[in-house]
Structure 1
Amino acid sequence: MAASGWLRGPAIGQGSTATVYLATTTTSSSSAAGRTQQTFALKSTELSRSTSLQREHAMLSSLSNPHLVASLGATITSEPGGRIFFNLAMEYVPGGDLSEEIKRSGPLDEPAVRGYTRGILSGLAYLHSAGIAHCDVKGENILLLGSGGDATVKIADLGCARWVDGGDEAISGTPLYMPPEVARGEQQGAAADIWALGCTVVEMMTGKRAWPNVTDPVAAMHRIAFSGDVPEFPPNVSGEAVDFLGRCLRREPEERWSAEELLRHPFVNCEGQFAAGGSSGPETKASPRSALDWGFWVAEEEEPEVEEGLPANPHAEDFSSDSMAERLRRLTSCGVPLSPAPDFLPWEESSWMTVRSAVEVVVGAASSLLFRHR
């Protein structure tokens, strides 16, 4: 077996329990031509504090979806000073996260929001079909390969994730993205991810958090839990966007649409784009073939649904009375242009440091990594 090792470079992320580094692996042979390198993200924390990271590894190792950051293996290492670390190697996504994109660009245009939302939903539908709730959906945990389109979106950081049927676990996540039932400490499941997705869509459209005037986490949780409010809907957006947000931001969890149902909503469902990047979850009914197939969800004879407590929006009535020409215009304008991913982080060669060389690295047929500690 050829000698193996990996190098840890600069930190590219910091969470409450772990630090994420950019890393590379090298496998050398007798000739320079036999040497290969692979860049990956390395999430590390001390072994004594690694419970959530080990749970994340256990979940990711059983999952595979184009809209989910892949696990490449894990190892335990002994660092200088006798400190023992648990390290999780993950796919490296060079485009940064959605929150950074919003900070750079401000409010995103609606076609871009549709594309990003479609990709997030595809990943969530897959997770939920596997019995896992993410529990911390937000822009910082949505990584991008480029700009726009569901193929560019990857959900990251399952540190707060839980098995839906796993019994009682402590509530976790980010207060401003928690739904009422989580803020009250009652339950946390797949429906909580849908509320958080709605908050993230509001953030994409406005460039601000869903609760922009609330800065104190305790005050935020109290308002979310007991006030009866929902996040304010963005102005000047399409009726489809208003209706989509209304399906996500319902205070009662059982009234929120599932990720699979939302993937069939005309706000995100564009023929051709959705078909290429849909969820790998369980089979569902066929999606409508055009924006004219709104009857797929709401029968013609049904009255338009009115949600109590949802903010009024002048576009809401237009959604139920659009002309055929207008619906066709929306369908054909749903594409999202792609642009090259920006450089992520520049670094000098001298900033890299060798962390562990006595580690065996096996590169499989699918270019995945398996770390084995000697």
Structure 2
Amino acid sequence: MDWIRGEKLGHGSFATVNLALAKKQSTQHPPLMAVKTCGISHSSSLVNEKLILEELKDCPEIINCYGESFSCENGEKLYNVLLEYASGGALSEKLKNSDDRGLPENEVRQYTKALLKGLNFIHKFGYVHCDIKLQNILLTPNGGLKIADFGLAKRVGSENGSGFDLRGTPLYMSPEMVAGGKQGTPADIWALGCVVAEMVAGAPAWRCDDVAGLLMRIGVGDAVPEIPGNLSEEGKDFLEKCFVKDPSKRWTAEMLLNHSFLFNDGLDFEMKESCESNSPRCPFDFPDWVSSSVACSITSLPSSEYSEEPPSLRSQRRSTSPAERLRGIVGDQELNWSASGDWVNIR
């Protein structure tokens, strides 16, 4: 595939990420992509990431991979992996723009559910991501979520036994990782809990500036990350299941997908109370229904939540016309692609 390198999007410890524009249109890849690049001499991690992404290609919550290429730029031989471009940016940037107030709980719930679906898929294929954090969670224009950066990912149980292998970012590391270098699928769940707590509070779950002191708190004793006080009781219970010190007793991604925190219908307490008070309690308790004055409308909910709405509301939704329901689901949002004038030809 011939493509053109565009503006720089970001960089890590061994690779940089740029926009990439395909020279020819194809049904196999979009016209605008992201390209992750590193020197060939340091490409083993990026090669591993590309192989893992190809194996996990069928999950909508994981960034897509469109192949690899080699190039020579400024006298240096480079290895490139072409990836899906998530134009919404990293979740860390969205949280940063919230002025440290955190995200609304309904939004946190939506992202948490999508993240769990991706993690469940990764774990079922026998992999551990090893670096779940806000910076590695990307957003799409339609509100979707993509797990990215599999540079540290590994097979479950692939410890080589030759030394202490400390992987990940300290703020999101699990106790078993810090204390013994063990990183199975429960480590990703601990990191997920840190991400959820951070989304709610607008600040990291651990309040510690000293890395050595932080690692001591994580690996030794009974301390766990702080659970935000403004979180619902269901949310607090969800985080308690993530922050179990013993990895064998920590809930799995599959278990957490069935937690009540993820099945809130999105209505605030007053609206729910109003809906319940208007529901008939017996055959003689039906009011004079008028289709144009539904007490509680469901058309404002995303279509993905329709299957989760309570039965008492489903009958009210049917009283709304199909046209009105479609207007509530379909928006006129357009993709906002930005172009750079600094392009470099790659063959």
**TM-score band, normalised by shorter chain:** 0.7 to 0.9
Q: Which amino acid aligns with 1:50?
A: S
Post-superposition CA distance 1:186-216 (Å, at most 9, x none): 300110000000000010000001113x122
Post-superposition CA distance 1:27-59 (Å, at most 9, x none): 28xxxxxxx971111000001111111100111
Which of structure 1's runs of 4+ aligned residues deviate more than 6 A?
Answer: 271-275, 289-292, 336-339
Give 1:129's match in structure 2, choosing from 124, 129, 144.
124
Post-superposition CA distance 1:217-236 (Å, at most 9, x none): 22211211113200111012
**Does residue 92 in structure 1 map to residue 92 in structure 2?**
no
Provide the residue aligned with 1:141 in structure 2. Answer: 136
**Structure 1 residue 341: deviation in Å?**
8.5
Secondary structure of the equivalent of 1:65? coil
**Structure 1 residue 183: deviation in Å?**
1.0
Q: Contact between 2:133 and 2:191, CA under 8 Å: does it hold in 1?
A: yes
Structure 1 residues 37 and 256: CA distance shift in structure 2, 3 A: closer
Q: Contact between 1:177 and 1:199, CA under 8 Å: does it hold in 2?
A: yes
**Does residue 207 in structure 1 map to residue 199 in structure 2?**
no
Q: Which amino acid aligns with 2:48?
A: R
Give 1:353's match in structure 2, choosing from 334, 338, 344.
344
**Does residue 251 in structure 1 map to residue 245 in structure 2?**
yes
Q: 1:337 & 1:275 partners in 2: Cα distance?
A: 9
Aligned counterparts, 1:89-128, within 5 A? 89-105=82-98, 106-128=101-123
Structure 1 residues 261 and 274: CA distance shift in structure 2, 3 A: farther
Provide the residue aligned with 2:170 in structure 1. Answer: 175
Q: Which amino acid aligns with 1:352?
A: W
Q: 2:262 & 2:10 partners in 1: Cα distance?
A: 30
Structure 1 residues 342 and 141: CA distance shift in structure 2, 3 A: farther
Structure 1 residues 7 and 59: CA distance shift in structure 2, 3 A: same
Secondary structure of the equivalent of 1:255? coil
Provide the residue aligned with 1:269 in structure 2. Answer: 263
Provide the residue aligned with 1:27 in structure 2. Answer: 24
Give 1:224's match in structure 2, choosing from 185, 200, 218.
218
Give the alignment's Cα RMSD to 1 decimal.
Answer: 3.1
Provide the residue aligned with 2:191 in structure 1. Answer: 196
Secondary structure of the equivalent of 1:184? helix
**Structure 1 residue 79: deviation in Å?**
2.4
Q: Which has the higher contact order (CA 8 A, sep 6+)?
A: 1
**Structure 1 residue 165: deviation in Å?**
3.2
Structure 1: state its 5+ residue gaps: 29-35, 278-286, 293-323, 325-335, 358-374
**Does residue 166 in structure 1 map to residue 158 in structure 2?**
yes
Q: Contact between 2:87 and 2:139, CA under 8 Å: does it hold in 1?
A: yes
Q: 2:30 & 2:127 partners in 1: Cα distance?
A: 33
Secondary structure of the equivalent of 2:248? helix
Q: Which amino acid aligns with 2:123?
A: H
Post-superposition CA distance 1:228-282 (Å, at most 9, x none): 20011101221100110010011111111100110000111368999959xxxxx
Structure 2: state its 5+ residue gaps: 266-297, 313-328
Q: 1:160 & 1:257 partners in 2: Cα distance?
A: 22
**Does residue 12 in structure 1 map to residue 42 in structure 2?**
no
Q: Contact between 1:23 and 1:40, CA under 8 Å: does it hold in 2?
A: yes
Moved more, 19-28 or 8-17: 19-28
Q: Contact between 1:26 and 1:37, CA under 8 Å: does it hold in 2?
A: no
Q: 2:332 & 2:94 partners in 1: Cα distance?
A: 13
Q: Which amino acid aligns with 1:51?
A: S
Provide the residue aligned with 2:293 in structure 1. Answer: none
Q: Contact between 1:71 and 1:91, CA under 8 Å: does it hold in 2?
A: yes
Structure 1 residues 348 and 18: CA distance shift in structure 2, 3 A: closer
TM-score norm. by structure 2 comes to 0.76
Q: Which amino acid aligns with 1:245?
A: L
Q: Which amino acid aligns with 1:218?
A: A
TM-score norm. by structure 1 comes to 0.70
**Does residue 60 in structure 1 map to residue 53 in structure 2?**
yes
Q: How many residues align?
A: 289
**Structure 1 residue 119: deviation in Å?**
0.4
